[in-house]
Structure 1
Amino acid sequence: MAYEDDALERMHRIMTEGRSAMVENMNRVHRGEPAVMRELAVKGERTPSQLADATGNSAGRISAILSSLEKKGWVTRTIDPENRRKVIVRITPEGLRLVNLHKKAMDDRVRWVFGQMGRRRTEEFLSLFEAMMTYMSLCGPGQPMPDEDAIRAAFERNGIPYEPAEDRETVLPDDVKDKFIMHRCGQEGDDTAKDADAANPGKDQS
């Protein structure tokens, strides 16, 4: 098994078997009520559809979340006077206060984690994490794999020194590999046809 396979398996194991209460809470924050409140705190007034897109929730789920938040007094929903079919959602002062408290609590816990890791390992982790996220931004499903120039440009845009690993390997994802194989087969088929035509110059081309 290649080291890339070992690394992927280990990462999945860490993310599933080692899932902590903090990670579970962070996952909930990204999609539930805290995510909606954070979006409103950062972006200001939004429509329900904009909130659904930003948090990855369905229209029905967003409607339920907003109803709950409105009952708690943390958001308001009003009809746009210029467009009666448009609903405007705003965070209340109390809602904003809670968002700031929650952010401080999460930041304090992450600071504690970094404190346990120590300065050296924290710096190493952040550098590696930044590089990993840059690579991942270039290789979404269905996208062509980036060449060297595209990788270097992405690192430069993010202000990160581009230092290719000495032992790096190029492992094509299966979807890209399949397209590559199909492309090669198509080319070989064309080449075979050309060879046959060259061997039979008098053949009818109609």
Structure 2
Amino acid sequence: MKDYELRGQLRESVNRIYDMELFSSLTELVQGENHVLQYLVQHREDEINPSLLSDHLHVSRSRITAALTGLRKKGYVTMEMSEQDRRRMCVRLTPEGESLIKRKQERIEGYFEALVAGLGEDDVKEFIRLIELSMSIMNSASAGK
């Protein structure tokens, strides 16, 4: 098979992955409002403020502000004065926000359970190895540009 044909098949396979519901659900979970909710679930014991969210999620402060505004309107987070620094606002997850993100995480976990069950341990390990190798190659290629 010629190189350009192989590249075309690879591109088509990757495009089909992007079209899957699993991928869109996973992408949704690691971007925007859901990413903020997921971070808050993982750090529920910490005092979280918008600046910290911006820094840890690598998102501009204006995008964090927009996400928090939307989440507050939906009842998924609250904002209150920090007990340690009255100049800062503290972001808190509401029970509704925690329930929403946990349902989304469970749905995605179901997809991964099916993938592991369908592929088996050896193929999953090989799949992980190939993903890691692919990321390394792509990172090297982008570093060279």
Assess if the C-alpha contact under 8 Å between 1:48 and 1:89 holds in 2: yes
- Counterpart amino acid of 2:15? T
Structure 2 residue aligned with 1:14: 13
Indicate whether 1:97 and 2:99 are aligned. yes
1:116/1:73 CA distance change after superposition, 3 Å? same
Kept in 2: contact 1:31–1:56 (CA 8 A):
no
Q: Which protein, 1 or 2, shows the higher relative CO under an 8 Å CA cutoff with sep ≥ 6? A: 2
SS state of the match for residue 30, structure 2? helix
> Residues 59-82 of structure 1, C-alpha deviation per residue, up to 9 Å, x if partnerless?
222212212222232211112244
What secondary structure does 2:89 align onto?
A: strand
Unpaired segments ≥5 residues, structure 2: none
The 2-side partners of 1:49 and 1:8 are apart by 42
The answer on whether the counterparts of 1:52 and 1:58 sit within 8 Å (CA) in structure 2 is: yes
SS at match of 1:84: coil
Residue 30 of structure 1 deviates from its aligned partner by 1.2
Letter in 2 for 1:65: A
The more displaced of 122-131 and 71-80 is: 122-131
Partner of 1:156: none
Q: Distance in 1 between matches of 2:124 and 2:40?
A: 31
Corresponding residue number in structure 1 for 2:131: 129
Percentage of matched positions with identical amino acids: 25
- Say whether the 8 Å CA contact 2:25–2:108 is kept in structure 1: no
SS of structure 2 residue aligned to 1:85: coil
Residue in structure 2 matched with residue 54 of structure 1 by the alignment? 56
Question: Using a 3 Å threshold, how does the CA distance of structure 1 residues 100 and 114 change in structure 2: closer, same or farther?
Answer: same
Tell me how far apart the structure 2 counterparts of residues 91 and 107 of structure 1 sit (CA, whole Å).
Answer: 22
Structure 1 residues 137 and 15: CA distance shift in structure 2, 3 A: closer
3-state DSSP of counterpart to 1:83: coil
Check 1:56–1:113 CA distance in 2 against 1; reply closer, same or farther (3 A cut).
Answer: same
Task: Find the aligned partners of 1:140 and 1:75 in 2 and give their Cα distance.
Answer: 40
| 1:185 alignment counterpart | none
| Larger of the two Rg values belongs to structure | 1
Match of 2:42 in 1: 42
8 Å contact kept, 1:31–1:55: no
Given the two structures, how large is their TM-score scaled by the length of structure 1?
Answer: 0.55
Number of equivalenced pairs: 142
Task: Measure the CA separation in 1 of the matches of 2:49 and 2:137.
Answer: 30
Is the 1:47–1:86 Cα contact (8 Å) retained in structure 2? yes
Q: Distance in 1 between matches of 2:11 and 2:107?
A: 27
Pair 1:85 & 2:87 matched = yes
RMSD: 3.1
- In the alignment, structure 1 segments of 5+ residues that lack a partner are 143-172, 176-206
